[in-house]
Amino acid sequence: MKRLSRIMTVVLITMLLVPFAVFAQGDTEMVTEETTGPVAFEFWSTETQSDRQATIQVLIDTYEALNPDVSIKLIPVDENDMAAQLQTASSAGTLPAMIEIGAENAVAFGVDGLMNVDATQALIDRVGADSFYEGAMKLVESEDGEPYALPYHGWVQGIWYRSDWFEEAGLEAPDTWENIQKAAEYFYKPAENQYGILVGTKPENYAEQCFTPFAMSNGARLFDSDGNLIFNSPEMKEAVEFYAELAKYNPPGPQTWRARDYYLQGKMAMFFYSTYIMDDLSLAEVAAGSLTAENFSDLAGKDFDPELVDHTKMQPLITNTETAGYGVVVTMGLINQPDEAKTQAAADFLRYLYTPNAYITFLHMAPGGMNPVIKGIASNARYQNDPKGIFKHYGPEKMAEISEGMNDIVSFSIVDGKKINAATEVTTQQIIPQMLYKITQEGMDVDAAMAWAEKEMKALLD
């Protein structure tokens, strides 16, 4: 087995040794540059799983083969430990030249002066600023529009829905408040054990993930760019009231993501989920856990439906007074270095990671979980041919529609290029999910529940 693994690694390296074109305006250019001498730098990655580290190491080995004067040391770091380890490295003068981090951390580190904005902007210009999805780029920019890091991959959450049911009923796609409510009500048939929608009502993060695009699509925010609490607004109240109305068309009881079982067993019209659901919809062995009677007493279990994926579409954006979507973006960042040669080498390596074959190899480490932030990749034939065979069930058109959600990703935690730490703490303390639970499950009045949530948020600020 070890010998076979080595052979496969060599084959992959050989495939990747071919020089590829970068994305910038479709121009072809070599991704290697001459260096003035041996350069060594560290790359800290949040991909801590051994199989993912192995894939990244193959990409590093390939780049080093093309650039023998460059040496890259891959160091896996848990994202929760990244801030502390960077602080320690900064004090010791041993900062990495390149890191992989979430967009919110990239902004926080950028505000602290760790990120090399000039080198980042130069690299974005080389890759092509117009190549990136706009929403993904906005999540990493300062209030002045300067980039703290480069978006690299991410996942999108949206409404997955039975397009065949919608078509038969003559209903529009669930892309506006009005269309979502109309469909949820139409398909709600509890006497037949069928439900219109799934939104989170348990006091946990899934509920906030479902709620966020509704709030943001109505212009509601938790804080302004100066960190002032503006939660209890008319816009937020409208979003809370609408969410509570949608929850009436849920399966009975407080619900979380687990109720996706209803959809996979043909008993639900719509549900909120990230792109991590793609393999459950398309692969029988992955869907098996949702096709039993074990999780819900009113579900009898069902055989895998291979046609379900063909009858499913995903709506990544919601529109009311604004258009908003929810998702997570992971970035590649260049850290300020006293040695300019390290910065140049790290930038050149990162430019290599954006070449099509290297980029797709990276994304294929987690099909559905790592989605492209570069336009056109979702419909790329090689990207479609993922190792698990998931994307072939969706096709280029659906994949492009899903990735378009990257254009309007929003976050309570980033406002006008500033990271609002208090918003992150609100999420950690699950204040919004608790509020939604009080309203939908305990019958608390909306005004009273919002006043409770506001009091809890103020306590965090104090």
Question: Residues 49-84: pLDDT tens digits?
Answer: 999 999 999 999 999 999 999 999 999 999 889 989
- CATH number, domain 2-154+328-403, options 3.40.50.300, 3.40.50.720, 3.40.190.10, 3.50.50.60: 3.40.190.10
The 10s digit of each residue's pLDDT in 341-397 is 999 999 999 999 999 999 999 999 999 999 999 999 999 999 999 999 999 999 999
Q: What is the pTM of this model?
A: 0.88
The 10s digit of each residue's pLDDT in 81-118 is 998 999 999 999 999 999 999 998 999 899 899 999 99
Which of helix, strand or coil describes residue 221?
Answer: coil
The 10s digit of each residue's pLDDT in 413-447 is 988 888 888 998 899 899 999 999 999 999 999 99
Q: What architecture (CATH level 2) is domain 156-325+409-461?
A: 3-Layer(aba) Sandwich (3.40)
Q: Domain coordinates of the chain in residue numbers?
A: 2-154+328-403, 156-325+409-461
Is 281:402 a contact under the CB 8 Å cutoff? Answer: no
Identify the band that residue 36 occupies on the pLDDT scale cut at 50, 70 and 90: low
195 CB-near residues (< 8 Å, 6+ apart): 187, 188, 189, 249, 250, 251, 262, 267, 268, 269
Q: Do domains 2-154+328-403 and 156-325+409-461 have the same CATH topology?
A: yes
b/e for 429-460, b at 16 or more Cβ within 10 A?
Answer: ebbbbbbbbbbbeeeeebeebbeebbebbeee
